[in-house]
């Protein structure tokens, strides 16, 4: 976890989940147990946040789970958690694709959305829409490569922003070049 993600986890996400569930925010054993429960739910590695195997996909899954726990009555968050449980690697790639698209085009709608991705507003989709990991993978590759091309043209170095764990965390069929920039937002 980056320091920003760790701050978000300990100061925002975990206390909100504790308040909603009636837990004590300072209980480190409970925090570890919840992280392990999250990993069991998504069928990920049974590790906690201090383990090196806890990569970006696992962090996204944990933040999504804590958001679900903090707002148990919110149907949109429940649907997001179900999508994340279905394939947490693809769910994180969807977030990355959305980030790359926002970096490229801002909040405006672009032609690629209308023509290639059936007008979908985000890679994650809307709650209760079909969650298609293959379409997410294609969208992520498209926007990540376009964002890298734009950075190279502007004289920035996208390779310096890579994250080594990205290649090892994704299944072999959905691996992405380690040059892809991973969003720095905590969730």
- 130 or 171: which leads in pLDDT: 130
- 62 or 136: which leads in pLDDT: 62
Instruction: Using alpha carbons, select from 57, 6, 65 the residue that is nearest to residue 34.
Output: 65
Domain assignment present for 186: no
- What's the confidence (pLDDT) of residue 37? 96
Residue 179 has pLDDT above 90, yes or no: no
- Separation between Cα atoms, residue 142 and residue 177, nearest integer Å: 12
The model's pLDDT over 101-111, given as tens digits with 9 standing for 90+, comes to: 788 777 766 65
| One domain, residues 72 and 108 | no
- Separation between Cα atoms, residue 123 and residue 110, nearest integer Å: 14
| One domain, residues 77 and 97 | no
Identify the domain boundary among 83, 117, 149.
83
Q: What is the mean pLDDT of the chain?
A: 77
The model's pLDDT over 80-95, given as tens digits with 9 standing for 90+, comes to: 899 899 889 988 888 8
| One domain, residues 105 and 148 | yes
Domain assignment present for 187: no
Instruction: Using alpha carbons, select from 42, 55, 139 the residue that is nearest to residue 99.
Output: 139
Domain count, the chain: 2
- Separation between Cα atoms, residue 131 and residue 154, nearest integer Å: 34
| One domain, residues 72 and 105 | no
| One domain, residues 73 and 95 | no
| One domain, residues 136 and 76 | no
Displacement of CA 147 from its chain's centroid (Å): 18
| One domain, residues 51 and 93 | no
| One domain, residues 28 and 96 | no
Q: What residue spans of the chain are helical by DSSP H? A: 3-8, 14-21, 28-42, 56-70, 75-86, 88-105, 111-116, 133-153, 165-169
Domain assignment present for 101: yes
Identify the domain boundary among 36, 65, 83.
83
- If you average pLDDT over residues 2-25, what whole number do you get? 94
| One domain, residues 122 and 71 | no
Domain assignment present for 9: yes
- What's the confidence (pLDDT) of residue 155? 80
Domain assignment present for 109: yes
- The answer to whether 64 and 186 are in contact (CB under 8 A) is no
- If you average pLDDT over residues 65-71, what whole number do you get? 96
Residue with tokens 């069929």: 173
In this predicted structure, which of 27-31, 108-112, 152-156 has the lowest mean pLDDT? 108-112
Domain assignment present for 181: no
- 164 or 6: which leads in pLDDT: 6
| One domain, residues 13 and 29 | yes
| One domain, residues 97 and 158 | yes
Segments forming the whole domain that contains residue 101: 88-174
- Separation between Cα atoms, residue 84 and residue 165, nearest integer Å: 19
Q: Whole-model pTM above 0.75?
A: no
Residue 161 has pLDDT above 60, yes or no: no
Instruction: Using alpha carbons, select from 168, 72, 80, 173 the residue that is nearest to residue 126.
Output: 80
Identify the domain boundary among 83, 114, 145.
83
| One domain, residues 44 and 15 | yes
- Separation between Cα atoms, residue 149 and residue 23, nearest integer Å: 47
- 165 or 159: which leads in pLDDT: 159
């Amino acid at each position: 976890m980056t320091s920003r993600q760790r701050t978000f986890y300990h100061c925002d996400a975990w206390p909100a989940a504790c308040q909603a569930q009636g837990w004590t925010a300072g209980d480190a054993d409970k925090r570890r147990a919840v992280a392990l429960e999250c990993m069991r739910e998504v069928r990920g590695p049974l590790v906690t946040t201090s383990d090196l195997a806890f990569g970006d996909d696992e962090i996204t899954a944990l933040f999504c789970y804590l958001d679900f726990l903090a707002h148990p009555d919110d149907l949109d968050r429940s649907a997001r958690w179900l999508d994340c449980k279905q394939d947490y690697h693809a769910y994180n790639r969807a977030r990355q694709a959305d980030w790359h698209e926002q970096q490229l085009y801002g909040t405006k709608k672009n032609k690629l959305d209308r023509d290639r991705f059936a007008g979908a507003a985000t890679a994650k989709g809307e709650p209760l829409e079909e969650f298609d990991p293959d379409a997410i993978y294609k969208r992520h590759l498209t926007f990540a490569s376009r964002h890298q091309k734009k950075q190279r043209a502007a004289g920035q170095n996208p390779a310096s922003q890579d994250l080594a764990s990205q290649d090892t965390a994704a299944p072999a069929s959905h691996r992405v070049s380690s040059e892809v920039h991973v969003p720095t937002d905590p969730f």
